[in-house]
Structures are given as structure tokens and as C-alpha cells.
């Protein structure tokens, strides 16, 4: 079975995000980028499937600027077999990514597409669902457990207030949630070996996909600063403030 | 092939993350228990740090000196006890096998060392032979197809865990000088090896060292490094440039860490109504530290680059070890100072790092020995 893993290059989770002074977006110059943490979980899951003998080939796909190669190399170091970079400097919105992924799925014919439930930069949480719709495939989103069976998969989903277990027919799209697994650190020898694994580069035009944005970003702003707290002298004062000032009790 | 300019950006990124997410958070536990937790040892192994200096053909990373130094900058950021744990496997002991080992010896040991399946310990120092390493008295007497080793080795890092001891011993009379010193690859299972009680150290908790006593320890002649008598000491000396650049790079990593600890405290601590970082006397301490750290890093990179190009670097390597470890000492002192009384408490990492950093100026050649080497090389150059 072939598994396609979609991975996104995002600003590293440790970086303190700064909004550009003209409010057109966030500062990306001289900022560290790394793989979207949810996608790391997707790669880990795919590698575990391969290690368990349930998947044969793992293809890691990333889309965007040339540096996405580095993100793909990380996936290759973790255990993916080869990579595909859809290279473009254009802004890619979830629908465009889903269309590009569909084109690659048509070409590669994987039995499973696995990807993060959302990317930590724009938090859209749309790509997996849109891809499933475009392909007409079943989807198991927010997966916290994936068990592959014969021609099907059982996916435990994280939903509000609990867990839901669904059974979906393969081929399918699975999007990963935080508790699915804990991604490994790619070992140094595997990082060296990953340098020799193949990465194909294609463009959206090669895949016949129009990636023009459908949404326009008007303005990006910092969240409002939290106001400083106040110290209260007694429990009575606290209760009074909660009741009469904050009006929460 | 070891080539200059290997692209190791991805390696250093991975090591940085591993160091900050796994090793640094484990430091208090290592300090508390004087041992590296088994789970972390396992992670060090699977992460592949034991084989940094070993060629790819034997399962290592085959890094050039510059690449190794850049990785060491990252590793040095964590408490140095971690590096000690896989360091002896990457250091002089293993380098000797690489340089002068027979094919059989390389095949027998290097892949297992690279995987971290066995640890190599380096047995040179003796009670009466420290800086004057050529004064060792441990004997290896030829007896038929065997050698019989007797003598005491001191300060052997990782002695309790080691599976392989690289032992320096005399195969000829004292008159033969260093030409009479040979190296043996001694498996731990051999009869006649006794590990003494653990050294009770000032710092470096989590890294263990002890005396190793060889009492009529019989080993086959095939354990003789390179299959030849008398190459041992020369081999060790040939590894020294590499080891010194490596140790200097580790010190640079530690300087970076110390400065981070200093900056964090200087920004957070308020006195006289403002962060102490705003006082110029504190700024001077930070500035001096940053400048020295930058200088040490630049020195290490230059020496490593020169070594990769095959230039002789004995003088540069000694300059690096000398400057970088002394700088680390000065920086640790300043950073403790700017912590005020809190720097003297065990609640802050600086108290421990201050004790750890002291060792760097003592082992693998004291600062005085580095000065002697630098002067010797310098004077010889000028005499030419
Ligand atoms: C924690 C720890 C781990 C170690 N691990 C190992 C190991 O794994 N394997 C191993 O073989 N060794 C190891 N060592 C030994 C270490 O390398 C020696 O301690 C070091 O070489 C110094 O030798 P010494 O302690 O005998 O000091 P000495 O040689 O007695 O030096 C005492 C002082 O005299 C100075 N001095 C000596 N000769 C001269 C000179 N000619 N001119 C000017 N000054 C001089 C020295 O610089 C020093 O200040 C370790 C040591 C420690 C503390």
C-alpha cells in the first residue's frame, strides 16, 4: 500500500510571531521555519504503518517555496521514501492545496492520504476535508488512533466532549490530531541518508491547477494585549469583584 | 572521504532541537541522581550521537572536522556530562582505531561503537603520569601469542560502562621513551580487570570516572592496535589536534548556554526599579562574554577548516582548546556574578554549570600544556 503524506512548512512553533508594521501579514524574514507539528504526527503515523508492514511506500508532499525541500528532507529523515515538491511562490490557500493534492493523488494512486488536521500558521483546518470532497473519498478527521484493516480503516476521532470511532473504506483521507502519536527525532544517520533520497519537483501548471487565491487578506493584527491583573486583599473582595465588576458569578 | 563544507544545516537543526527538548530538561534529574536516565541513554543511542567521528562505511556519520565542530557547538549547549557519555566513543580512543587500527580491528569495533552498542574508554593517565603522559609505567609483557598487561590507570571516564578499554602500556623499557609505548584494545570481559570506586567529583555529575586496574590481564596479540608495537603513543598524539578542536567546540556551545542563562537572569531580575540588564556594569559582563564566545567560535571554525584542508593545525588546535576553555571559565564566573546570591544556590543552573565548566581547563591537556604546545610550535616556526 502506498501512503501520501502532506506536509507544510510553517514558522517554527518556538518563534514569537510578529505582525508586519503595514498589517499585511506576519514577519517571515530571518525567522526559523519547520514542519507543521500536526504534519509531523502524520509522518510518524505513516512511518509506523510502514514499520508494521502495513504500508510499502511513503511519499511526502509539500507545496510552496523552494525551501519546502528542507521540510521534505525532514520527512525523508523520519522514514518517508521519496518526496514531491510542488514549487510555487504564490500564496496557497487550502482549496488550492487540496486541488494540487488531488492531482497528485490521481497520479500516484495512494490508498491513504494522511495529513495534519490544521497548520499552526493559519489554523484553517480545511485541506483534508476539501481533498476528501474533491476525491469523493471517505475521511477520518482529528484522528487519535488509526487501525488499518482489510480495505478499510478504523479511526478514533477527537470530538467535542469525547471520542468517536468510525470505520472508513480505503482509499481514504485521514487528518491527525495531537494525541495520535509522539513523533520521533530523526536520527543523525537517517538525516545523512535522507540527503540521497529522491525529491521530484513539479509546478501547479504541470498539474493543471489554478492556484489563484479565492480569499483576500485585508488586515492582520496582533491580538489585544491582556490587561494587567489586580491583587485583592480578601476572599470577600474577590467574590464582590467577580459578582459586581466582572459579573461572572 | 572527509570533505570540507559538508552541508550540515539539517544536522545542527536536529541536534539543537534534541538538545533543547530532551537533554536540557533532563539536567536537574542527572544532577540529582548522578546518572543519566536509561531512557535518555537509549535516546542518545538511537539519535546516533555515538558515531559522529566514525566513517559512514562503519555506520557512523563521517563528518568532516568543520561539520563535527558545528554539531559540537550545539551539543555543548547541554550539561557536559551528556557529551562525556558518548564523547569517549568519539574521542581519542576511537580515533586511534580509525587512524592506525587493522581492518579486522576496525570491523570488530567501529560499527558497534557507532551504534552505541559498546562504549570505548580511554586509559592513558596514571597516578604518576598525568601531564607527562609519556611517563606511564603500565607494562604489557609479551608471552607467546599473548600480551600480559599490568598497571593502574586513573580518571578513566565511563570506566563503569565501557565495553572496550583503549589501554596505553609499555612494551619496551623506559629507555625506549615514547617509542616503547603501545596501545591495546582490551575487551571488558578479559580476566584481570578491576574497576575502582567512582571518583567523587566537584561537578560533571552523571559522568562517571574511576581507576581501572589491570592485574596480569592476558590479551591476544591481535589486540595490539595496528598490529605493531610502539605506534600507540604516536597515534594518540596524532589524534590530539582533532580532540582539541572538538573540545574547544564543546566549550563554545557551553559559552553560548552560559550567556543565555546570564541574559535571561539579567532581563528578569529587577533592582533599583529596573532590570539589572539596564546597568552598564552588567552589560559589560555580557558584552565581554559575547565577544569571547564569538572569538572562540571563529577560532574553532578556522582551525577546523584548515584541518579539513590537510594543513598542520597543532598550534591552532592548542590555541582553540586553550582559549575556548579559559573563556568558558571566565564567562561562567561573570554569569554567576550577575546572578548575585542566587548564583550560589542550587536552584539555578549556573551553580552547576560553574562547577562543570572547571573541568574543561584540566583534562585532555591542561591549559598550561596547551600553552607549552603553542609556544613550542611558535618558536619552532620562527627558528625555521
Ligand atoms: C573528570 C576527569 C576525567 C578524566 N578522564 C580521563 C580519561 O578518560 N582518560 C584519561 O586517560 N585521562 C583522563 N583524565 C585525566 C586528565 O587528562 C589529567 O587529569 C590531566 O591530563 C592532568 O594530569 P594530572 O591530573 O596528573 O595533573 P598534573 O600533570 O599533576 O598537573 C598538575 C599541575 O601542573 C601543571 N603542569 C604539569 N606539567 C607542567 C609543565 N611541564 N609546565 C607547566 N605546568 C605543568 C598542570 O598544568 C597542572 O596545573 C580525566 C581527568 C578528570 C579530572
Could you give the CA distance from residue B164 to residue B94 in angstroms, rounded to a whole number? 10
Using the Cβ of A70 and the Cβ atoms of chain B, whether some distance falls under 8 Å is answered with yes
Nearest CA owner, ligand 1 atom 45 = B368
Q: What is the pLDDT of residue A1?
A: 94
Give me the pLDDT at residue B1, please: 34
Instruction: Check pocket membership of B150 for ligand 1, CB cut-off 6 A.
Output: no
The yes-or-no verdict on residue A243 having pLDDT over 80 is: yes
Percent of chain B with pLDDT over 70: 98
User: Which residue, judged by its Cα, is nearest atom 31 of ligand 1?
Assistant: B131
Dump pLDDT digits (tens) for A62-73.
Answer: 999 999 999 999
Mutate to test the interface with A, among B10, B46, B67 (most CBs of A within 10 A): B10
Q: Whose CA is nearest to atom 14 of ligand 1?
A: B155
Ligand 1 atom at shortest distance from the alpha carbon of B123: 11
Between B2 and B232, the more confident residue is B232
Does any ligand 1 atom lie closer than 6 A to the CB of residue B86? no
List residues of chain B with CB under 8 Å from any CB of chain A: 7, 10-11, 13-15, 17-18, 22, 43, 46-49, 51-52, 56, 59-62
**Band of pLDDT at residue B236, cut at 50, 70 and 90:** confident
Ligand 1 binding pocket includes B84 (Cβ within 6 Å): no
C-alpha cell at A239: 467574590
The region that residue B61 occupies, defined by phi over 0 for left and psi between -120 and 50 for alpha, beta otherwise, is alpha
Q: Is the CB of B201 under 6 A from ligand 1?
A: yes
Q: What is the pLDDT of residue B2?
A: 43
Q: What is the pLDDT of residues B137-188, one digit of tens each?
A: 999 999 999 999 999 999 999 999 999 999 999 999 888 888 999 999 999 9
Chain A residues with CB under 8 Å of B23 CB are none
Region B92-116: mean pLDDT is: 91
Measured between CA atoms, the residue of chain A closest to residue B52 is: A188
Say how many Å lie between the CA of residue B170 and the centre of ligand 1.
20
Structural domains present in chain B: 2-115 (1.10.540.10), 120-229 (2.40.110.10), 234-383 (1.20.140.10)
Most informative mutation of B129, B133, B135, B363 for ligand 1 (most atoms within 8 A of CB): B363
The answer to whether ipTM exceeds 0.90 is: no
Return d(Cα B113, Cα B119) in angstroms, integer: 6
Does pLDDT of B4 surpass 60?
Answer: no
pLDDT tens-digit readout, A132-179: 999 999 999 999 999 999 999 999 999 999 999 999 999 999 999 999
The reported pLDDT for the residue numbered B6 is 64
Q: Do A188 and B49 touch (CB under 8 A)?
A: yes
**Which residues of B are catalytic, by number?**
364
Percent share of chain A, pLDDT over 70: 100
Tell me how far apart the alpha carbons of residues A60 and A114 are, in angstroms, rounded to a whole number.
10
Q: Is the CB of B227 under 6 A from ligand 1?
A: no
Cβ-Cβ contacts under 8 Å, B49 against chain A: 188
CA distances from A219 to A21, A24, A125, A224 (A): 11, 6, 20, 15
The pLDDT > 90 percentage for chain B reads 85
**Average pLDDT, whole number, for chain B?**
94
CB atoms A192 and B22 under 8 Å: no
Hey, is the C-beta of A191 within 8 angstroms of any chain B C-beta? Answer: yes
Closest-CA distance of chain A to residue B46, Å: 6
Residues of chain B in contact with residue A190, where contact means CB-CB under 8 angstroms, are 48
Residue B27 has pLDDT above 80, yes or no: yes
Cell (9 digits) for B319? 590555541
Amino acid at each position: 500500500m502506498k501512503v501520501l503524506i502532506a506536509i507544510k512548512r510553517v514558522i517554527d512553533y518556538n518563534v514569537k510571531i510578529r505582525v508586519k508594521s503595514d498589517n499585511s501579514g506576519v514577519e517571515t524574514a530571518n525567522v526559523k521555519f519547520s514542519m507543521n507539528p500536526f504534519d509531523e504526527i502524520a509522518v510518524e503515523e505513516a512511518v509506523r504503518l510502514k514499520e508494521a508492514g502495513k504500508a510499502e511506500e511513503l511519499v511526502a508532499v509539500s507545496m510552496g517555496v523552494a525551501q519546502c525541500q528542507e521540510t521534505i528532507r525532514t520527512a525523508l529523515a523520519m522514514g518517508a521514501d521519496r518526496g514531491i515538491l510542488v514549487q510555487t511562490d504564490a500564496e496557497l490557500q487550502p482549496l488550492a492545496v487540496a486541488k494540487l493534492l488531488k492531482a497528485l493523488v490521481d497520479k500516484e494512486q495512494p490508498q491513504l492520504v494522511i495529513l495534519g488536521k490544521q497548520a499552526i500558521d493559519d489554523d484553517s483546518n480545511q485541506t483534508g476535508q476539501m481533498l476528501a470532497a474533491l476525491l469523493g473519498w471517505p475521511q477520518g478527521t482529528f484522528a487519535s488512533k488509526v487501525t488499518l484493516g482489510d480495505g478499510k480503516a478504523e479511526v478514533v476521532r477527537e470530538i467535542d466532549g469525547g471520542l468517536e470511532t468510525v470505520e472508513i473504506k480505503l482509499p481514504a483521507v485521514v487528518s491527525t490530531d495531537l494525541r495520535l502519536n509522539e513523533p520521533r527525532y530523526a536520527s543523525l544517520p537517517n538525516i545523512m541518508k535522507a540527503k540521497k533520497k529522491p525529491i521530484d519537483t513539479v509546478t501547479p501548471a504541470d498539474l493543471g491547477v489554478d492556484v489563484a487565491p479565492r480569499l483576500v487578506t485585508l488586515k492582520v493584527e496582533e491580538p489585544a494585549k491582556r490587561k494587567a491583573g489586580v491583587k485583592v486583599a480578601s476572599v470577600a473582595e474577590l467574590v464582590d469583584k467577580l459578582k459586581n465588576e466582572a459579573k461572572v458569578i | 572521504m572527509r570533505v570540507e563544507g559538508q552541508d550540515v544545516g539539517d544536522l545542527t537543526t536536529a541536534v539543537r532541537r534534541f538538545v533543547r527538548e530532551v537533554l536540557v530538561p533532563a539536567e536537574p534529574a542527572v544532577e540529582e541522581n548522578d546518572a543519566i536516565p536509561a531512557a535518555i541513554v537509549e535516546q542518545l543511542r538511537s539519535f546516533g550521537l555515538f558515531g559522529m567521528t566514525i566513517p559512514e562505511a562503519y555506520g557512523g556519520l563521517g563528518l568532516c572536522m568543520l561539520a563535527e565542530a558545528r554539531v559540537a557547538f550545539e551539543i555543548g549547549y547541554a550539561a557536559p556530562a551528556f557529551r562525556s557519555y558518548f564523547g569517549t566513543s568519539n574521542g581519542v580512543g576511537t580515533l586511534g582505531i580509525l587512524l592506525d587500527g587493522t581492518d579486522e580491528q576496525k570491523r570488530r569495533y567501529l560499527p558497534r561503537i557507532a551504534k552505541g552498542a559498546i562504549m570505548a574508554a580511554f586509559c592513558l593517565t596514571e597516578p604518576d603520569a598525568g601531564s607527562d603522559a609519556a611517563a606511564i609505567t603500565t607494562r604489557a609483557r609479551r608471552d607467546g601469542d599473548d600480551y600480559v598487561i599490568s598497571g593502574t590507570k586513573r580518571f578513566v571516564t565511563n570506566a563503569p560502562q565501557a565495553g572496550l578499554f583503549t589501554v596505553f602500556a609499555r612494551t619496551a623499557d623506559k629507555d625506549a621513551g615514547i617509542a616503547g609505548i603501545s596501545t591495546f584494545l582490551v575487551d571488558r570481559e578479559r580476566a584481570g580487570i578491576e574497576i575502582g570506586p567512582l571518583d567523587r567529583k566537584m561537578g560533571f555529575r552523571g559522568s562517571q570516572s574511576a581507576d581501572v586496574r589491570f592485574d596480569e590481564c592476558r590479551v591476544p596479540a591481535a589486540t595490539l592496535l595496528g598490529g605493531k608495537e610502539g605506534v600507540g603513543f604516536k597515534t594518540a598524539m596524532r589524534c590530539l589536534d582533532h580532540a582539541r578542536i572538538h573540545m574547544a567546540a564543546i566549550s563554545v556551545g557551553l559559552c553560548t548556554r552560559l550567556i543565555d542563562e546570564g541574559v535571561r537572569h539579567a532581563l528578569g531580575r529587577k533592582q533599583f526599579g529596573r532590570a539589572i540588564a539596564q546597568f552598564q556594569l552588567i552589560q559589560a559582563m555580557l558584552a565581554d562574554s559575547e565577544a569571547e564566545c564569538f572569538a572562540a567560535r571563529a577560532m574553532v571554525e578556522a582551525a577546523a577548516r584548515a584541518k579539513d584542508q590537510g594543513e598542520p593545525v597543532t598550534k591552532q588546535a592548542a590555541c582553540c582548546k586553550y582559549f575556548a576553555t579559559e573563556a568558558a571559565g571566565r564567562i561562567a564566573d561573570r554569569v554567576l556574578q550577575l546572578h548575585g546570591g542566587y548564583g550560589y544556590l542550587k536552584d539555578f543552573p549556573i551553580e552547576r554549570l560553574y562547577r562543570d565548566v572547571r573541568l574543561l581547563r584540566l583534562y585532555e591537556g591542561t591549559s598550561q600544556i596547551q600553552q607549552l604546545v603553542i609556544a613550542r610550535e611558535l618558536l619552532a616556526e620562527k627558528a625555521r
